[in-house]
Amino acid sequence: MSGRERGWSAVPVGRTWQVVAGSAAIGLAVAAGAVAAAGPWESGQRTAERAYAAARDHHGGRPAPGPAAPAPGALPSARPAAPVLVPARTSGSGAPAAAPARQLDRMMSTAGLGHVTTGAVVDVADGRLVYDHGGAVATTPASVTKLATAVAALELLGPDHQLTTTVVMTGPARVVLVGGGDPTLELPRLAADTAAALKARKATRVTVGYDTSYFSGPLMHPIGVNENLAPVTALMVDEGRLDGSSAGPAQRAQDPAGSAAAEFAGLLAAHGITVKGSPRPARGSGGAVLAVHRSAALSDLVERMLTNSDNDLGEALARQVARASGLPASFSGGARAVSQVLRHVGVPLPGASFHDGSGLDHRDRLAPVTLARLLALAAAPGHPELRPVLSGLPVAAFTGTLSDRYRGSAAAGLVHAKTGTLTGTNTIAGTTVTADGRVLAFAFMTQGAPDSGAAEAALDKLATALTAS
């Protein structure tokens, strides 16, 4: 989705920009700029938010690069805990600093929500837990799991990290397309570069192989064949989508790697390279590199994942975290690796259980306090590498999965949040700006709601109540 599709001039920016201008005075530092500054998009990304956050951190037009990717199995060096991770405490009066607790409690018991409702709200500026309604109770998070995946990937790999796909020559007339775990891969330029390299070697008749060994474990998610996720493989083109779409459910190739290799072979032929036979699985290790394709920066991939709730990116990035952690690049390895990184940076994980990177697995468990602390960490001055977590959040009534929610609400443009929906599960976690200029990180979760639409509306009202506090 581009800025032209969502006219940013329509965003109710009065309170938003006032907060940005006065953030230093109220101690919000980076948080207000990263959360509240809505600006033009470039290639689907809110670049103004990212640039403002970077400037507030005394860096250039993009966030400062995160730490270099560690050797496999090594976690990044621990940093001093950010202010947002101080022990939770109530305000001096004992009352929450967010919307009145009694009002939120009443709303948490509304008929539209399920039999289990939990929530937590954190004041980003000082880390106080200002509202707690079973906040340490872990339940199915659905797609808000992607917040955990995003934080782990950015923290471990850094925002400038790219996913690399290569073409190598393993014999006089054999090329292998080696997947690097990039579900957004597009092949035309890679094929053109490969053809040019082959012609320079006077090798115009080749066989084509493809290597998917970068990932391991089962290809199929426990949900099985599903329009929300392609089989998870290290080699695929455009997420295996067969309808030309870039987001949302779509019919998927059931052999994404084979389909990608066939398309690559066809493109080589169009560039004057004769391809003998059909592409077959092969190993590319030790081959001479002919061409390389690098994905967009990880910061952009994270923003896309969160804005569009992109399940394919969620699973791919969890596996990237696993590889960087020295663990198998599989569903279980990614789940373990994400948990390890979050513990290392001090995010509380009461009752947490990870089983995938996208949140499609009903067995995942996260608590509201975990989600709220993840968002507060992303706003912390000591973690500029995590800023894309905030800039990637859908904006109420304007972008991504919130484009059709909060229409006509006072929270339109102010609530930035990731949503999650599975059968019997509805969740929302994000940030908002209060009437007096505070930035709050919140998470509200419900299980067993009889009607998903009614549950979403009730959750939206909870977030809206925070903007009026």
pLDDT of 10 above 90: no
- Interval 32-51: pLDDT, tens: 333 333 332 333 334 434 44
pLDDT of 52 above 60: no
pLDDT range class, residue 469, cuts 50, 70, 90: confident
pLDDT of 14 above 50: no
Residue at 59: amino acid letter: H
pLDDT range class, residue 186, cuts 50, 70, 90: very high
Q: Measure the CA–CA gap between 44 and 242, rounded to whole angstroms.
A: 21
- pLDDT more than 90, % of the chain: 74
Q: What is the DSSP letter of 98?
A: S
**pLDDT at residue 110 in the model:** 86
Q: Measure the CA–CA gap between 108 and 449, rounded to whole angstroms.
A: 12
Q: Measure the CA–CA gap between 111 and 448, rounded to whole angstroms.
A: 11
Residues annotated as catalytic are 143, 146, 309
pLDDT range class, residue 468, cuts 50, 70, 90: confident
Q: Measure the CA–CA gap between 166 and 177, rounded to whole angstroms.
A: 6
SS3 322: helix
- How much is the CA Rg of the chain, to the nearest whole Å? 23
**Average pLDDT score over the chain:** 83
Cβ neighbours of residue 427 closer than 8 Å, sequence gap 6 or more = 141, 142, 143, 144, 419, 420, 421, 443, 444, 445, 446, 459
Q: What are phi and psi of 287, to 5 degrees?
A: -80, 160
pLDDT of 92 above 80: no
- Interval 106-149: pLDDT, tens: 999 888 899 999 999 999 999 999 999 999 999 999 999 999 99
* Cα distances (Å, whole numbers) of residue 268 to 189, 197, 284, 313, 316: 11, 11, 18, 27, 27
Distinct helix (H) and strand (E) counts, the chain: 13, 13
**pLDDT at residue 102 in the model:** 86
- Interval 347-370: pLDDT, tens: 999 999 999 999 999 999 999 999
- Interval 366-387: pLDDT, tens: 999 999 999 999 999 999 999 9
